[in-house]
Structure 1
């Protein structure tokens, strides 16, 4: 039976946590009408998922919300390191690292930086801004069913308070509905990987005197290794509010009911080494660390994002960041297809680009948990400590998809970070002047493809403008040294690995789609062909 829709919308999003709200924000910035449904009545109230890496903050900068997020995170702005200790009062104290960016390297690589903003503080910022962009976001509403055909997706949504059902017709559905994704299960998409790694109970509590034991140690997390009560301690306000992750072993018959308030308080006292600490337990939430990646990220017009597509160990906060970056990858492609300047087959590049990155990142996250001896994860690290955190965060690359000319030896995540970006990699940051305005080259990338041509590349810039006129592709063209004046004259060619007569094509998500090291005999024909192939227009 064909259902007559009550509503029509280009994009339907199911799931209103970090990834779904980010998708709404990114789509709203691009003017794409959409509807988001979330079964819960409000945003998260539990302080978790706090690590937002520099790449994610670059995306939030482009979306205009970075200052608001940093404002929401201001109480933890001075927390940087990861400490490992037997107890807070014991003799065995080791900083796994004391500063996120000890040498100030990030200032040269990005206009943004890391930000410690818990999910319960970040989600309201995303929600407020998404709604200000006319995002139709409905909490207390769940997706009941969905079916697709060649032209779109028909879904039934239900308002939980009233039980009212409505039928929605959408061109595309983004399933950001969590690790037990009902949409993924309906599609029969399996998961690959080792599966469950360990289980914890996250205990929120108040303890005014704990700050005395912590002293001036401003950590992101402290791994407490007392064998009688191992766990992870995280500050909420560095004063009275804290979180303690206690290992939970359901496979041995341990239940959540076993974590009474008194037992939780005693675990915290033993772990911290403060036996007379007054502890007020304010909440408990179980969570499961796993390494799984979906066998495929899409089925027709239904696209998986975030935890529905991948689960990762929490060490390093790779999972939430990867999910937000999924949403960003999807947003520009949906906008391009829906507006007609890219072919529908562009959506097929989502799996080719994002799934290999998730596989490599998930493996790095599990290795990092072993390296940090995360409480509950009884796996020895494979070798020495992992290097290359920046390689995971800023240098992940797309080996296939909406890219052309990717070097043959490229890995999804390189062994070491390099600021020089090949096709398939994140376009590098460079401070430039546009008139009197100082901006990062990353600020150019959000709405349209961008062609950057070198100081001797006027032919590329002219060709780009003709191609935009002829094809209707909204290509922005800038000449280095004319439209944009770098503060470091030599940096543009070095970081993009091109000569003064070369050109670089950058996608709206800030990834290099293609480059020409030097001039071309027929730049208009070359550029037109590249755009046709990258955007799947033919």
Structure 2
């Protein structure tokens, strides 16, 4: 097989990563865990309190499909080879549960926590778990892997189709590596918080002090402190221009908090605004550069060159929400992040083409 580029998405135990001499940073293995997939009727616990994950002092439960399929996961017992898995799951449900689960599958795995030292080696690019193995607590691993692909593939398409320079691929590592590191910190903190809560509850049960009250720890908000991290990511690279689009500049770093505060600043995700009753600004973005402006006629005159691009009209109210004047514009990349902003009229007839050339590293401007 001959190819111009290789995307190494071969998992946490990547074959390619060590062959390329790429090391990792982070705590490493946090422990050995087991997932048991089983069928059982747990409606007495979940019918009135539906959730994606149920935490107990003896492991966690989660629905697999609505017809009664469940999974339990927890620390792998010392006698795993001879363990009575139906009995273990039944005991985890609590005394007198009276449920004998029908076990479908048992899988042992290691919870890894690391980030690759770099995401690129020549024409090989790492993505997903090969680039960052994140603990499952908080559910951030899939989001981070999808965001890798979203960030990388429009850049790779541009290079292969000729409307972007090869140097654009350098911004993949520049943009995504800091996000992976912050996300690793969050998931490790969430894992330790979960273990702390479960240990405290287990001690309550062991000592006989357990009551119907939950463990007195306001932990759930911190455990799920992820929305600002997932949606509030702000990129800083040569593929993002400041409000003066002739040169790159810093963007606000993402705050690892629970809140996501939309902002029209370059580097951030394009905020959601309704363009029509059933069409959002997010729907308008795709495998092209999108220019949002209340003055489409003026900006359409600047379209041209090799870049895929479209213009979307904004109302005066929508433009005001984006901090734009009557002739301003936002240039949004194919991954939905704002590449440049002109608060008012374009500074020249070539402003848009120059911005696209700068963002993509191409000579087309």
1:182 aligns with 2:15: yes
* Kept after mapping to 2: 8 A contact 1:461/1:478: no
1:7-26 C-alpha deviation (Å, 9 max, x unpaired) = xxxxxxxxxxxxxxxxxxxx
| Matching residue within 362, 366, 371 for 2:184 | 362
1:242 aligns with 2:242: no
Q: What corresponds to 2:205 in structure 1?
A: none
1:425 aligns with 2:249: no
In 2, the alpha carbon distance for the partners of 1:377 and 1:412 equals: 32
Q: What corresponds to 1:194 in structure 2?
A: 27
In 2, the alpha carbon distance for the partners of 1:376 and 1:201 equals: 16
| Gapped regions of structure 2 (runs ≥ 5) | 201-216, 243-247
Compared CA separation, residues 407 and 537, structure 1 to 2 (3 A): closer
| Matching residue within 492, 509, 516 for 2:335 | 509
CA-CA distance at 1:256 after TM superposition: 4.0
1:34-63 C-alpha deviation (Å, 9 max, x unpaired) = xxxxxxxxxxxxxxxxxxxxxxxxxxxxxx
Q: What corresponds to 2:350 in structure 1?
A: 525
TM-score by length of 1: 0.59
Q: What corresponds to 2:114 in structure 1?
A: 292
Compared CA separation, residues 267 and 492, structure 1 to 2 (3 A): farther
1:211 aligns with 2:54: no
- Aligned residue-pair number: 338
* Kept after mapping to 2: 8 A contact 1:357/1:413: no
CA-CA distance at 1:303 after TM superposition: 0.7
1:269 aligns with 2:95: no
In 1, the alpha carbon distance for the partners of 2:124 and 2:190 equals: 32
1:338-380 C-alpha deviation (Å, 9 max, x unpaired) = 11111111111110111111111121122222333478899xx
In 2, the alpha carbon distance for the partners of 1:203 and 1:234 equals: 10
Which has a greater percent of strand? Answer: 1
TM-score by length of 2: 0.85
In 1, the alpha carbon distance for the partners of 2:199 and 2:110 equals: 11
| Matching residue within 240, 256, 270 for 1:403 | 240
Q: What corresponds to 2:317 in structure 1?
A: 490
In 2, the alpha carbon distance for the partners of 1:269 and 1:298 equals: 47
CA-CA distance at 1:383 after TM superposition: 9.3
In 2, the alpha carbon distance for the partners of 1:224 and 1:419 equals: 35
Q: CA RMSD in A?
A: 2.5
Compared CA separation, residues 339 and 361, structure 1 to 2 (3 A): same
1:221 aligns with 2:53: yes
